[in-house]
Amino acid sequence: MRPILLLACLMGLAACAAHPGKVDHVRFASDAKTVLATTQEGALRGAEGDGTRAFLGVPYAAPPVGERRWRAPQPVQAWAGVRDATRIGADCTQAIGRRAILGGGGGIVVGSEDCLYLNIYAPAGEAERTRPVMVYIPGGAFTVGAGANYDPSKLAREQGRVVVTMNYRLGALGWLAHPGFQATGEGFGGNFGLMDQQAALKWVHRNIAAFGGDPNDVTLFAESAGAWSACYLMASPGSRGLYQRVILQSGGCLEPSSLVAARDAAQSGPMFAERLGCAGEDQIACLKAMPAWRLSRAASLRAGINGPGSWGPVHTDATVPENPAEALREGRFTQVPVLIGTNLDEGRLFANEVKTMDRYRKETIWMYGDEGQRVLDRYPVGPEGPAYAIAANFTDQRFACPSQALRRVLSAHVPVWGYEFADRQAPFVLPDWVVGLDLGAYHASELAYVFGTSWVFADVKRFTPAQKALSERMQRLWAAFGTEGFAAEWPRVEGAGPVRVFAPEGDRMDDDFFARHHCAFWDGTPFGAVH
């Protein structure tokens, strides 16, 4: 959808400054003290306080600058002495703005190319035995975001887990593909951000024991673009053995417009370079000499997570050898238990500009072309207005039905569980009258519940007692995923259902997800999930 909530863009900028993950409540607690850990690269000095131990801004790969720009991540150079790990590392270079978040260029640039850092959180004190590990890949349309935008200290402290968040390269710096990249022997490119994520997982596998974590008991959990990434990582042979279960939140990678081959993405590379003034034979040298902020503000000319003119991972390259849809269908993926879910009102976060019937019609025809009239007929405008109608079709086509298809495909090979987050009173930092519509269970609204802490969209101080109880249930279930107790409490997906519907008034199991979200309709269009 072309329009995106402008307030979300502005709040994304606020997140870069606020950084909940810097955990001041740990660093400046009355009982704060210094703690040490020794990795394969060197010793680290972290902080402990308020029941949590944190090591922040830990490098997992060498800075991808200079000749390392648009190269696979390189190993961290070992250091002498003790490295400070009490402060957040830089976010990856990113452009924040109305169009920029969807790949359309422009925006205000923040962050740095030297950004391949992760943050590690654990309960205070020395563990008597190794703890399970949870590694989180943040979302942000592959253009914005950072691991430090989230504070997992409560999840770590109360669930007895070691929790890791990460950064990865964004926008053109993370996802540009170009024929000229083949000179390095690394293919067409287009997957540098995905390679960063894999490098972070490998770092965790090598080093997490130094923080009390079990490298053979890792849950990979991810939201939105992070979940799309995790889905691609499942189809990447280089990920095997790096995690034992996966949680995909609002990221069904079987959505057809987001499935792009590396060779196809590379066809737009020369034109991308030309638009930035890099003509002639050596476009790559020209692009590598360009300031990172200019590259970050450049519009995408390839297809990605939002279709044409966006960014995202590619397939049929050295990292992801085949289309994930084929790999998952045929069982050629890392076969581990998977939890897949979406939110009831995903699309409302992006729909506030659709205020008239004319705009609704034009946007729908733009998105679905020849199928547009069928979509308009299937999703008529009700008394709430056109924004809610377009949000409903966007929710179903982009999120709900691809995730349902993914559950069906994967359940032929591995244990699968499903959920829908349905709290339509989920807190949002601004009132509805400012946003322009009731956001309901909007895209990313579940994150405050999963982490139990505030972030850019939501203040958990606004939780009602029932919402706080829901958050505690979700934290417990996310941490317990893969255990015998979890399986006894939550039935697996069989065919089209059931999924667990999370709500403050109490959870329920639901077999009607496929019908409620019109998935049979979408399966009969070119925009239906690939499965």
Q: Just list the catalytic residues.
A: 224, 346, 443
What kind and span of H or E run contains 217?
Answer: strand 213-223
Full 3-state SS string of 141-190: CCCCCCHHHCCCHHHHHHHCCEEEEECCCCHHHHHCECHHHHHHCCCCEC
Could you give the CA distance from residue 331 to residue 207 in angstroms, rounded to a whole number? 30
Extract the tokens encoding 149.
């935008």
CA distances from 215 to 207, 235, 238 (A): 8, 20, 16
Extract the tokens encoding 315.
């397939």
Asked whether the beta carbons of 479 and 37 are under 8 A apart, the reply is no
Asked whether the beta carbons of 88 and 17 are under 8 A apart, the reply is no
Burial (Cβ within 10 Å: 0-12, 13-18, ≥19) of residue 432: exposed
Could you give the CA distance from residue 305 to residue 371 in angstroms, rounded to a whole number? 20
E-strand stretches of 19-113: 33-38, 43-49, 52-59, 82-84, 94-96, 108-110
List Cβ neighbours of 131 (8 Å cut-off, separation of 6 or more). 122, 123, 160, 161, 162, 212, 213, 214
Extract the tokens encoding 354.
């659709």
